[in-house]
Amino acid sequence: MEGRKVTGWAARDSSGILSPYSFHIRKTGPEDVVFKVLYCGVDHSDLHQIKNEIHITTYPLVPGHEVVGKVMEVGSEVTKFVVGDIVGVGCMVGSCGECLCCKTNREQYCNNMVFTYNAIYKDGSFTQGGFSSAMVVHQNYVVSIPEKLAPEQAAPLLCAGVTAYSPMKQFIGCKTAIKAGILGLGGVGHLGVLIAKAMGHHVTVISSSDKKREEALTDLGADCYLVSSNSDEMKKLTNSLDYILDTVPVNHRLQDYLPLLRVEGKIFVVGAAPEPLQFSASGGSFIGSIQETQEILDFWVEKRLKTMIEVVKMDYVNKAFERMEKNDVRYRFVLDVAGSNLE
Ligand SMILES: NC(=O)c1ccc[n+]([C@@H]2O[C@H](COP(=O)([O-])OP(=O)(O)OC[C@H]3O[C@@H](n4cnc5c(N)ncnc54)[C@H](OP(=O)(O)O)[C@@H]3O)[C@@H](O)[C@H]2O)c1
Ligand SMILES: [Zn+2]
Ligand SMILES: [Zn+2]
């Protein structure tokens, strides 16, 4: 059943150009939370999807899955939130609730997980993301944004942050010194550096160019910076890393990086290259659970970390994607949705 009318920005075809689009969100169910979107991060997965690069895209498509909003209405059985709360939604808005994954806080791996956009919801409606004036989401897939965290700071944590945090979390409490490699310094990568440093790891950034060296070492606090085409430097790193967080969004040769791992080292492939990687046994790490999403928000406050973002208005969104495609973003665009007067 149709609920309120909202205004989003949608891609219409694989050119990926976004423009205003009006649609109805579903009528508020008993466990639904309706919120006005305040901010929404711009993830490379949005770019993959508006261009029909990874999943089959159904148009018009309103992207956005790093959504922070203010609750406007709650269903009669909502217990987690009240009107006025600042809340967040990441990559998923539903799952079966009954399988082993769902029952063990790993609902992101549920076979019936529902993506925030470009997916069919349980009631048969088509999901649309956070580049929109408002959203309705079941309370189980909504997290609360800590009071001490600015909403625009929180946005990138809801996908990029938890994607890095989820596999790296296993090193919390490790007694030995952990050596980390962050491959690709973009939205996910920059948060990976901050998280790794906050966990006390020794961090080497492996980048495709020399352009981000200064800021990686000074602003983000990385310990080393390496350009991947420098094979002499790469050789020196052989057998040294406990893990690599691989965020590269295009096809790349994994075999160039695997030798950097020490025995029993791990590679977390989170980058969603459109073509298959030249490596058969890669089980990629995939975002993080709802609980971990909540955890990273609290972690951010506790460690006093600062997301590095560029806040822009909705009419800048196409330029934002253009710049993301050119690797020209430091390090996450966050749309000021409420400040863009969509309605
Ligand atoms: N698995 C998951 O759950 C999950 C969650 C979020 C995102 N993702 C995926 O992770 C990837 C990264 O997302 P993002 O939002 O962080 O993207 P992003 O901001 O565009 O950053 C990607 C980084 O990769 C490097 N890179 C870009 N083009 C490259 C090229 N042609 N060759 C080598 N390196 C290149 C760049 O870093 P340097 O300049 O340092 O080389 C760039 O900053 C995307 O594929 C996205 O879809 C997956
Ligand atoms: Zn399930
Ligand atoms: Zn994402």
Angle at CA of residue 305, ends 42 and 169, nearest 5°: 85
Range of the domain at 11: 2-159+308-340
Same domain assignment for residues 155 and 184: no
pLDDT of 280 strictly over 80: no
**Do 152 and 217 fall within a single domain?**
no
pLDDT at 285: 53
Same structural domain for residues 262 and 229? yes
Residue minimizing CA distance to atom 35 of ligand 1: 248
* Pair (175, 151) in one structural domain: no
**Total domains, the chain:** 2
Q: Where are the alpha helices (DSSP H) in 71-212?
A: 100-103, 151-154, 160-168, 187-198
When the pLDDT of each residue in the chain is averaged and rounded to a whole number, the result is 94
Instruction: Report how far residue 261's alpha carbon sits from residue 204's, in angstroms, rounded to the nearest whole number.
Output: 12
Residue 71 domain-assigned?
Answer: yes
In a domain, 336, yes or no: yes
Q: State whether 153 and 10 are in the same domain.
A: yes
In a domain, 15, yes or no: yes
Tell which atom from ligand 1 comes closest to the C-alpha of 108. Answer: 3
Where a domain ends, among 238, 269, 300? Answer: 269
Residue-wise burial string across 187-201, b where 16 or more C-beta atoms lie within 10 A, e elsewhere:
bbbbbbbbbbbbbeb
CATH number at residue 71: 3.90.180.10
Do residue 211 and residue 330 come from a single domain? no
Q: Is 15 exposed, middle or buried (0-12, 13-18, 19+ CB in 10 A)?
A: exposed
Say yes or no to pLDDT of 283 above 80.
no
Going from the Cα of 179 to the center of ligand 1, the distance in angstroms, rounded, reads 21
27 and 155 within one domain: yes
Asked if residue 316 is part of any domain, the answer here is: yes
Within a domain: 300: no
Both 253 and 336 in a single domain? no
H or E stretch covering 325: helix 317-325
Q: End of a domain among 269, 298, 330?
A: 269
> Which amino acid, 216?
A
Spatial distance between the Cα atoms of 16 and 140, rounded to a whole number of angstroms? 31
Could you report the per-residue pLDDT of 159-198, keeping only the tens digit for each? 999 999 999 999 998 888 999 999 999 999 999 999 999 9
Indicate whether residue 41 lines ligand 1 (CB < 6 A): no
The answer on pLDDT for 55 being more than 90 is no
Ligand nearest to the CA of 325: 1
Q: Using CA atoms, how far apart are residues 258 and 155, in angstroms rounded to an integer?
A: 32
Say if residue 199 is in the same domain as residue 169.
yes
pLDDT surpasses 90 at 284: no
Whether residue 252 is found in the same domain as residue 324: no
Which one-letter DSSP state was computed for residue 126?
B
Say if 205 falls within a structural domain. Answer: yes
Helix (H) or strand (E) holding 267: strand 261-269
Are 124 and 190 in a shared domain?
A: no
Residues 291-301: what's their mean pLDDT? 96
CATH number at residue 227: 3.40.50.720
Distance CA(245)–CA(164), nearest Å, equals 7
Average pLDDT over residues 329-336: 97
- Convert the pLDDT of each residue in 235-270 to its tens digit: 999 999 999 999 999 999 888 899 899 988 999 999
pLDDT, greater one: 173 or 207: 207
167 lines ligand 1 (CB under 6 A): no
pLDDT for position 264: 82
Whole-prediction pTM = 0.88
Q: Are residues 135 and 166 in the same domain?
A: no
Cβ–Cβ under 8 Å, residues 110 and 319: no
C-alpha 229/C-alpha 130 separation (Å) is: 37
